[in-house]
Amino acid sequence: MNETTDQTGRWQGTRTFVVEKKAAESKTVTSFILRPEDGGPLAAYKPGQFLGFRLDIPGQSKPVARTYTISDRPSSASRGGGSQGGGASYRLSIKREPAPKDRPDLPAGLSSNYFHDHVEVGTALEVMAPSGDFFLHEDRSGPVVLLSGGVGLTPMISMLNHIVDQGSGRPVWFIHGVQNGDEHAFGAHVRGLAVAHENVCAHIVYTEPGPGDVQGRDYDAEGFITLPMLESLLEGPDADFYLCGPPPFMKALFNALLGWGVGESRIYYEFFGPASVLKEGGEEADKPAPKAAAPADGMMVTFQSSGVTVPWDPAKDNILELAEANGVIADFSCRSGICHTCMCELIEGEVEYVNDDAMLPDDDSDVLICSSIPKTDIIIDV
């Protein structure tokens, strides 16, 4: 067992995993089955959580940090039997991200294309332990509605597989929107679960069905997931709703659910941005920054590269949220202190970390702004 791994299989820092299997789920999505090189136990995780990676990508001067959701039930990490491989393992299902259709001059997704083109059976990867705040809440017993768009289905597959694996009779709707059959992953798997388990229902929506796509076999409706569609499928808004997908998909459905009467506390989502952006009329990240005004007894935060100095707002959960609320553009990805995308130089002052799961920088002069708040006046290089 790796000396950094405890008896529960949890580890600190990175741990080497080897790709045991690589399998296409659609023309754009590929799954990777990972096993620990040291043969030790795997850390448990909640359905919906992700793994962090340090990737040595050719042509990059330093390791690239990324996170990918584990796309199978937690029992596949403890006793084995994942749908794409046997034994204790983690499964990732990664979509190849091309350059944006409206900006073909921009590069394609760096890490997703690295996985598709360079990661093969036998490839060793440096992996961080499971983490993430988006997961199935098992302390509830009512209906579950899993709403996903595109590759946002990966945490939903984990949740669905777990509900079935646990023998739960909890009613669950798996509602998924995707371009067409070429991009549709796990279609037959989800259909099979819906046929075998009376508490599971599936509704698949294709934006633009292809010539070989058959309604009733591959998909159920054409267009987009809408509130009228949900109203026709569900008995009412009294359910727990889980959302994951592209930002327009998320924003449309989040506000539609609120308008239907779903309590905000019953809408769970994977959204890598401030929650206020999801709401109609919510603050946008590019709004003009207010002029600095020294507080009577508070702390000041200076974003040096952006030329912005503002009072610390105790209502914000972290420095990243303060930056976004004041028009400062900061890099981020996981917002959980795992991927280090938000790391920047702490030029002056002290911070306090508020996320116990954050993987702290090796250098005290660096700070993870997604997981920290100021202890004093601070100056950071953003």
Statement to judge: residues 127 and 148 lie in one domain: no
307 Cβ contact partners less than 8 Å away, ≥ 6 residues apart: none
The answer on 152 and 127 residing in a single domain is: no
**Please, are residues 77 and 88 in contact by the beta-carbon 8 Å criterion?**
yes
Show the domain range for 229. 144-271
**CATH number of the domain bearing residue 19:** 2.40.30.10
Same domain, 373 and 307: yes
First vs last Cα of the chain: how many Å apart?
40
SS3 84: coil
Does 76 map to a domain? yes
- Token pair for residue 190? 């989800």
Residues 316 and 299: beta-carbon distance below 8 Å: no
Residue 291 lies in a domain: no
Q: Among residues 177, 142, 151, 147, which one has the least CA distance to residue 160?
A: 147
What's the chain's length in residues? 382
Residues 261 and 149 in one domain: yes
Domain count, the chain: 3
Among residues 131, 163, 183, the one where a domain terminates is 131
* Inside any domain, residue 264: yes
From residue 144, alpha-carbon distances to 239, 291, 316, 326 in Å are 6, 45, 30, 36
Residue-by-residue pLDDT tens, the chain, 382 positions: 444 566 678 888 899 999 999 999 999 999 999 999 999 999 999 999 999 898 999 998 888 888 899 999 998 876 544 444 445 899 999 999 887 777 777 678 899 999 999 999 999 999 999 988 899 999 888 999 999 999 999 999 999 999 999 999 999 999 999 999 999 999 999 999 999 999 999 999 999 999 999 999 999 999 999 999 999 999 999 999 999 998 889 999 999 999 999 999 999 998 655 555 677 755 444 444 444 444 445 799 999 999 999 999 999 999 999 998 888 888 777 788 877 888 999 999 999 999 877 878 888 899 999 999 999 999 999 9
Strand partners, 308: 303
> Does any domain span residue 43?
yes
315, two tokens: 């209502």
The reply to whether 158 and 70 lie within a common domain is no
Residues 263, 304 within the same domain: no
Residues 223 and 169 in one domain: yes
Residues 266 and 150 in one domain: yes
The distance from CA 325 to its chain's CA centroid, rounded to whole angstroms, is: 22
Please, where are the H alpha helices in the chain? 75-78, 110-118, 153-165, 187-196, 227-233, 247-260, 319-325
* Helix, strand, or coil (residue 65): strand
